[in-house]
Protein backbone atom coordinates (compact mmCIF):
# COMPACT_ATOMS: atom_id res chain seq x y z
CA UNK A 1 0.00 0.00 0.00
CA UNK A 2 1.20 3.49 -0.80
CA UNK A 3 0.89 6.31 1.67
CA UNK A 4 1.35 10.06 1.92
CA UNK A 5 3.70 11.87 4.29
CA UNK A 6 2.45 13.82 7.27
CA UNK A 7 2.36 17.13 5.40
CA UNK A 8 -1.02 15.93 4.14
CA UNK A 9 -2.32 16.54 7.67
CA UNK A 10 -2.04 20.32 7.29
CA UNK A 11 -5.53 20.54 5.80
CA UNK A 12 -7.68 18.53 8.21
CA UNK A 13 -5.80 19.67 11.32
CA UNK A 14 -6.24 23.31 10.31
CA UNK A 15 -9.95 22.79 10.95
CA UNK A 16 -9.18 22.13 14.62
CA UNK A 17 -5.92 23.87 15.54
CA UNK A 18 -4.87 27.47 14.91
CA UNK A 19 -1.29 26.67 13.88
CA UNK A 20 0.39 24.58 11.21
CA UNK A 21 0.32 21.24 12.96
CA UNK A 22 2.70 19.47 10.61
CA UNK A 23 5.60 21.04 12.58
CA UNK A 24 4.11 20.04 15.94
CA UNK A 25 5.83 17.28 17.87
CA UNK A 26 3.72 14.24 18.66
CA UNK A 27 4.55 11.39 21.04
CA UNK A 28 3.51 7.90 19.96
CA UNK A 29 1.52 6.09 22.64
CA UNK A 30 2.92 2.77 21.47
CA UNK A 31 6.70 3.26 21.16
CA UNK A 32 7.26 6.69 22.71
CA UNK A 33 8.88 8.14 19.59
CA UNK A 34 8.64 11.94 19.45
CA UNK A 35 8.61 13.36 15.93
CA UNK A 36 7.04 16.16 13.94
CA UNK A 37 3.71 15.11 12.45
CA UNK A 38 5.10 15.76 8.96
CA UNK A 39 7.07 12.53 9.39
CA UNK A 40 3.98 10.44 10.03
CA UNK A 41 2.70 7.97 7.42
CA UNK A 42 -0.77 8.86 6.14
CA UNK A 43 -2.76 5.98 4.62
CA UNK A 44 -5.48 7.81 2.74
CA UNK A 45 -6.71 4.99 0.47
CA UNK A 46 -9.08 3.67 3.10
CA UNK A 47 -12.57 4.49 4.41
CA UNK A 48 -10.90 7.26 6.41
CA UNK A 49 -7.31 8.35 6.93
CA UNK A 50 -5.09 6.27 9.21
CA UNK A 51 -2.03 8.19 10.39
CA UNK A 52 0.78 5.91 11.56
CA UNK A 53 3.98 6.42 13.55
CA UNK A 54 6.98 6.45 11.22
CA UNK A 55 9.00 4.55 13.82
CA UNK A 56 6.76 1.66 14.91
CA UNK A 57 3.85 1.78 12.46
CA UNK A 58 1.12 1.91 15.09
CA UNK A 59 -1.86 4.20 14.55
CA UNK A 60 -1.47 7.73 15.92
CA UNK A 61 -4.70 9.23 14.61
CA UNK A 62 -7.65 8.50 12.37
CA UNK A 63 -9.76 10.98 10.43
CA UNK A 64 -13.25 10.12 9.21
CA UNK A 65 -15.38 12.66 7.40
CA UNK A 66 -19.05 11.75 7.56
CA UNK A 67 -21.90 13.61 5.90
CA UNK A 68 -22.03 16.26 8.60
CA UNK A 69 -18.78 16.18 10.58
CA UNK A 70 -15.08 15.47 10.71
CA UNK A 71 -14.20 12.95 13.43
CA UNK A 72 -10.59 12.81 14.64
CA UNK A 73 -9.46 10.00 16.94
CA UNK A 74 -6.11 10.68 18.62
CA UNK A 75 -5.75 7.72 20.96
CA UNK A 76 -2.29 6.90 19.63
CA UNK A 77 -0.88 10.32 20.56
CA UNK A 78 -0.08 10.89 24.23
CA UNK A 79 1.24 14.42 23.75
CA UNK A 80 1.36 17.22 21.23
CA UNK A 81 3.90 20.04 21.42
CA UNK A 82 3.06 23.03 19.25
CA UNK A 83 5.74 25.62 18.42
CA UNK A 84 4.77 29.09 19.63
CA UNK B 1 -10.09 19.54 2.52
CA UNK B 2 -11.75 16.32 1.54
CA UNK B 3 -11.08 13.06 3.29
CA UNK B 4 -12.21 10.57 0.74
CA UNK B 5 -10.37 7.86 -1.10
CA UNK B 6 -8.90 9.29 -4.26
CA UNK B 7 -11.06 8.93 -7.32
CA UNK B 8 -14.36 7.86 -5.86
CA UNK B 9 -16.24 11.06 -5.16
CA UNK B 10 -18.25 13.50 -7.14
CA UNK B 11 -19.53 11.19 -9.85
CA UNK B 12 -23.15 11.25 -11.02
CA UNK B 13 -25.54 8.80 -9.43
CA UNK B 14 -26.05 5.60 -11.43
CA UNK B 15 -29.38 3.83 -11.86
CA UNK B 16 -28.44 0.15 -11.92
CA UNK B 17 -30.83 -1.98 -9.80
CA UNK B 18 -27.88 -4.07 -8.61
CA UNK B 19 -26.23 -0.98 -7.11
CA UNK B 20 -27.13 0.00 -3.54
CA UNK B 21 -27.99 3.69 -3.01
CA UNK B 22 -25.09 6.08 -3.45
CA UNK B 23 -22.84 3.49 -5.09
CA UNK B 24 -21.05 3.64 -8.45
CA UNK B 25 -20.01 0.77 -10.68
CA UNK B 26 -16.31 0.04 -11.14
CA UNK B 27 -14.66 -2.56 -13.35
CA UNK B 28 -11.36 -2.25 -11.45
CA UNK B 29 -10.65 -3.70 -8.05
CA UNK B 30 -9.47 -0.71 -5.98
CA UNK B 31 -7.02 -1.43 -3.18
CA UNK B 32 -7.90 0.17 0.15
CA UNK B 33 -6.01 -0.27 3.37
CA UNK B 34 -5.39 1.56 6.63
CA UNK B 35 -1.79 0.37 6.76
CA UNK B 36 1.06 -1.44 5.07
CA UNK B 37 0.43 -4.77 3.35
CA UNK B 38 1.71 -7.64 5.49
CA UNK B 39 3.64 -10.34 3.61
CA UNK B 40 2.40 -13.62 5.02
CA UNK B 41 3.75 -17.07 4.24
CA UNK B 42 1.11 -19.79 4.31
CA UNK B 43 3.68 -22.02 6.06
CA UNK B 44 3.44 -19.72 9.11
CA UNK B 45 -0.22 -18.79 8.75
CA UNK B 46 -2.92 -19.87 11.18
CA UNK B 47 -6.51 -18.98 11.91
CA UNK B 48 -8.17 -19.17 15.34
CA UNK B 49 -11.65 -18.90 16.82
CA UNK B 50 -11.69 -18.10 20.54
CA UNK B 51 -14.84 -18.37 22.62
CA UNK B 52 -15.88 -17.26 26.10
CA UNK B 53 -15.47 -20.81 27.44
CA UNK B 54 -11.70 -20.65 26.95
CA UNK B 55 -11.98 -22.82 23.85
CA UNK B 56 -9.57 -22.09 20.99
CA UNK B 57 -10.17 -23.69 17.61
CA UNK B 58 -7.10 -23.42 15.38
CA UNK B 59 -6.30 -24.28 11.77
CA UNK B 60 -3.06 -24.03 9.85
CA UNK B 61 -3.19 -23.39 6.10
CA UNK B 62 -3.38 -27.05 5.06
CA UNK B 63 -6.01 -27.85 7.69
CA UNK B 64 -8.14 -24.91 6.63
CA UNK B 65 -8.07 -25.57 2.90
CA UNK B 66 -8.68 -29.30 3.51
CA UNK B 67 -12.15 -28.32 4.78
CA UNK B 68 -13.07 -27.64 1.16
CA UNK B 69 -13.36 -24.49 -0.91
CA UNK B 70 -16.74 -23.25 -2.12
CA UNK B 71 -17.30 -21.14 -5.23
CA UNK B 72 -18.81 -17.75 -4.39
CA UNK B 73 -20.24 -15.49 -7.10
CA UNK B 74 -21.22 -12.17 -5.58
CA UNK B 75 -21.36 -8.39 -5.78
CA UNK B 76 -19.19 -6.34 -3.42
CA UNK B 77 -19.83 -2.82 -2.14
CA UNK B 78 -17.21 -0.51 -0.61
CA UNK B 79 -18.25 2.31 1.71
CA UNK B 80 -16.06 4.66 -0.37
CA UNK B 81 -18.89 4.28 -2.95
CA UNK B 82 -17.55 1.82 -5.49
CA UNK B 83 -19.32 -1.45 -6.20
CA UNK B 84 -18.02 -4.34 -8.27
CA UNK B 85 -20.61 -6.74 -9.62
CA UNK B 86 -20.34 -10.46 -10.36
CA UNK B 87 -17.03 -11.17 -8.65
CA UNK B 88 -15.79 -14.76 -8.32
CA UNK B 89 -14.18 -16.04 -5.15
CA UNK B 90 -13.34 -19.37 -3.55
CA UNK B 91 -13.28 -19.83 0.17
CA UNK B 92 -14.10 -21.88 3.25
CA UNK B 93 -17.55 -21.35 4.71
CA UNK B 94 -17.67 -19.93 8.23
CA UNK B 95 -20.42 -22.48 8.90
CA UNK B 96 -17.74 -25.19 8.77
CA UNK B 97 -15.37 -23.32 11.05
CA UNK B 98 -18.05 -22.74 13.68
CA UNK B 99 -19.35 -26.35 13.68
CA UNK B 100 -17.50 -27.21 16.90
CA UNK B 101 -17.50 -23.76 18.50
CA UNK B 102 -18.95 -23.62 22.02
CA UNK B 103 -20.45 -20.19 22.48
CA UNK B 104 -23.60 -18.46 23.61
CA UNK B 105 -22.35 -15.00 22.61
CA UNK B 106 -24.03 -13.28 19.67
CA UNK B 107 -21.21 -11.06 18.38
CA UNK B 108 -17.69 -11.43 17.06
CA UNK B 109 -14.55 -9.34 16.73
CA UNK B 110 -12.53 -10.21 13.65
CA UNK B 111 -8.75 -9.75 13.95
CA UNK B 112 -6.24 -9.34 11.15
CA UNK B 113 -2.50 -9.69 10.82
CA UNK B 114 -1.33 -6.07 11.09
CA UNK B 115 -3.78 -5.21 13.85
CA UNK B 116 -7.00 -4.32 12.00
CA UNK B 117 -10.28 -5.28 13.65
CA UNK B 118 -13.95 -5.24 12.69
CA UNK B 119 -17.10 -6.31 14.55
CA UNK B 120 -20.11 -8.27 13.32
CA UNK B 121 -23.12 -10.16 14.66
CA UNK B 122 -22.39 -13.90 14.58
CA UNK B 123 -25.61 -14.52 12.62
CA UNK B 124 -24.16 -12.52 9.71
CA UNK B 125 -21.35 -15.07 9.42
CA UNK B 126 -23.66 -18.10 9.41
CA UNK B 127 -25.93 -19.86 6.89
CA UNK B 128 -23.84 -19.41 3.78
CA UNK B 129 -23.23 -15.67 4.20
CA UNK B 130 -19.49 -15.56 4.93
CA UNK B 131 -16.24 -17.24 3.94
CA UNK B 132 -12.50 -17.19 4.54
CA UNK B 133 -11.61 -16.38 0.93
CA UNK B 134 -8.33 -17.67 -0.48
CA UNK B 135 -8.89 -17.17 -4.22
CA UNK B 136 -10.19 -14.33 -6.39
CA UNK B 137 -10.86 -14.61 -10.11
CA UNK B 138 -9.41 -18.12 -10.24
CA UNK B 139 -6.07 -17.09 -8.72
CA UNK B 140 -4.64 -17.13 -5.20
CA UNK B 141 -5.70 -13.97 -3.40
CA UNK B 142 -3.02 -11.30 -3.86
CA UNK B 143 -1.49 -9.67 -0.76
CA UNK B 144 -2.87 -6.23 -1.65
CA UNK B 145 -6.38 -7.71 -1.67
CA UNK B 146 -5.88 -9.49 1.65
CA UNK B 147 -4.02 -12.62 0.64
CA UNK B 148 -3.37 -15.25 1.55
CA UNK B 149 -6.82 -15.12 3.15
CA UNK B 150 -9.46 -12.52 3.93
CA UNK B 151 -12.91 -12.59 5.39
CA UNK B 152 -15.65 -12.28 2.76
CA UNK B 153 -19.03 -10.99 3.99
CA UNK B 154 -20.43 -9.54 0.77
CA UNK B 155 -23.86 -8.49 2.08
CA UNK B 156 -22.18 -5.80 4.23
CA UNK B 157 -19.91 -2.91 3.22
CA UNK B 158 -16.52 -4.30 2.34
CA UNK B 159 -14.61 -2.87 5.33
CA UNK B 160 -16.26 -5.74 7.23
CA UNK B 161 -14.50 -8.23 4.93
CA UNK B 162 -11.24 -7.97 6.84
CA UNK B 163 -8.07 -8.51 4.83
CA UNK B 164 -5.25 -10.73 6.17
CA UNK B 165 -7.65 -12.32 8.62
CA UNK B 166 -6.07 -14.25 11.49
CA UNK B 167 -8.89 -14.95 13.90
CA UNK B 168 -12.29 -14.38 15.43
CA UNK B 169 -13.02 -13.72 19.11
CA UNK B 170 -16.55 -14.12 20.42
CA UNK B 171 -17.91 -11.12 22.32
CA UNK B 172 -20.98 -10.63 24.48
CA UNK B 173 -21.81 -7.21 23.08
CA UNK B 174 -21.28 -5.62 19.68
CA UNK B 175 -18.13 -3.70 20.64
CA UNK B 176 -16.85 -1.65 17.71
CA UNK B 177 -13.78 -2.49 15.63
CA UNK B 178 -11.21 -0.16 14.04
CA UNK B 179 -13.35 1.92 11.68
CA UNK B 180 -16.53 1.41 13.71
CA UNK B 181 -14.88 3.17 16.68
CA UNK B 182 -13.93 6.06 14.47
CA UNK B 183 -17.15 7.06 12.75
CA UNK B 184 -18.27 4.17 10.56
CA UNK B 185 -21.54 2.36 11.19
CA UNK B 186 -21.67 -0.49 13.70
CA UNK B 187 -23.42 -2.80 11.16
CA UNK B 188 -22.88 -1.45 7.62
CA UNK B 189 -25.75 -2.61 5.39
CA UNK B 190 -25.15 -1.09 1.92
CA UNK B 191 -28.82 -1.36 0.94
CA UNK B 192 -29.79 0.81 3.92
CA UNK B 193 -26.74 3.01 3.27
CA UNK B 194 -25.41 2.49 6.79
CA UNK B 195 -22.12 4.30 6.24
CA UNK B 196 -21.65 6.34 9.41
CA UNK B 197 -22.95 6.57 12.97
pLDDT band of A15, cuts 50, 70, 90: confident
Q: For residues B108 and B119, is the Cβ–Cβ distance under 8 A?
A: yes
**Closest approach of chain A CAs to the CA of B3, in angstroms?**
6
pLDDT of residue B134: 98
Tell me which residue in B3, B6, B196 faces A63 most closely, judged by beta carbons: B3
B176-190: average pLDDT: 96
pLDDT in tens, A23-61: 999 999 999 999 999 999 999 988 899 999 999 999 999
Domain of A72, in residue numbers:
4-81
| Beta-bridge mates of residue B70 | B91
Name the residue among B82, B156, B97, B89 with its Cα closest to residue B121.
B156
Q: For residues B78 and B143, is the Cβ–Cβ distance under 8 A?
A: no
B17-44: average pLDDT: 95
CA–CA separation, A26 vs A79, rounded Å? 6
A24 touches chain B (CB under 8 A): no
**CA B109 to each of CA A38, A49, B26, B106, B116: distance values in angstroms, whole numbers, following the listed order:** 33, 21, 29, 11, 10
Count structural domains, chain A.
Answer: 1
pLDDT band of B37, cuts 50, 70, 90: very high
pLDDT of residue B12: 52
CA–CA separation, B183 vs A63, rounded Å? 9
End-to-end CA distance of chain A: give it in Å, rounded: 35
pLDDT band of B9, cuts 50, 70, 90: very low
Question: DSSP assignment of B181-196, as one string?
Answer: HTTB-SS--GGGT--B
A47–B3: do the CB atoms touch at under 8 Å?
no
A11–B159: do the CB atoms touch at under 8 Å?
no
pLDDT of residue B6: 44
- Mean pLDDT for all residues in chain B: 94
Sign for the CA dihedral angle at B26, A45, B119, B98 comes to positive
pLDDT in tens, B95-130: 999 999 999 999 999 999 999 999 999 999 999 999
CA–CA separation, B112 vs B146, rounded Å? 10
pLDDT band of B13, cuts 50, 70, 90: low
pLDDT reading at A18 higher than 80: no
Name the residue among B83, B93, B111, B86 with its Cα closest to residue B171.
B111
The CATH number assigned to the domain with range B48-192 reads 3.90.420.10
**Closest approach of chain A CAs to the CA of B24, in angstroms?**
15
**CA A71 to each of CA A26, A33, A48, B105, B137: distance values in angstroms, whole numbers, following the listed order:** 19, 24, 10, 31, 36
Interface predicted TM-score (ipTM)? 0.87
Tell me which residue in A46, A63, A73 faces B32 most closely, judged by beta carbons: A46
CA–CA separation, B152 vs B75, rounded Å? 11
B145-168: average pLDDT: 98
Tell me which residue in A1, A43, A66 faces B196 most closely, judged by beta carbons: A66
pLDDT reading at B30 higher than 50: yes
Amino acid sequence: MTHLDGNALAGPLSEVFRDDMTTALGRCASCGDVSVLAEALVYDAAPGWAVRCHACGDVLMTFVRTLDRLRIDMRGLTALEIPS
Amino acid sequence: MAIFSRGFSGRPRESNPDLPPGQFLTEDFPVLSAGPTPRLDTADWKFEIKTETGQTLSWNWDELTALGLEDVHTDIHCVTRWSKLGTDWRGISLDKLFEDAETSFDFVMVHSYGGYTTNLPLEDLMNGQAWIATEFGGEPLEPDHGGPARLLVPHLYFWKSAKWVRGITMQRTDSPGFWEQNGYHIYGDPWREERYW
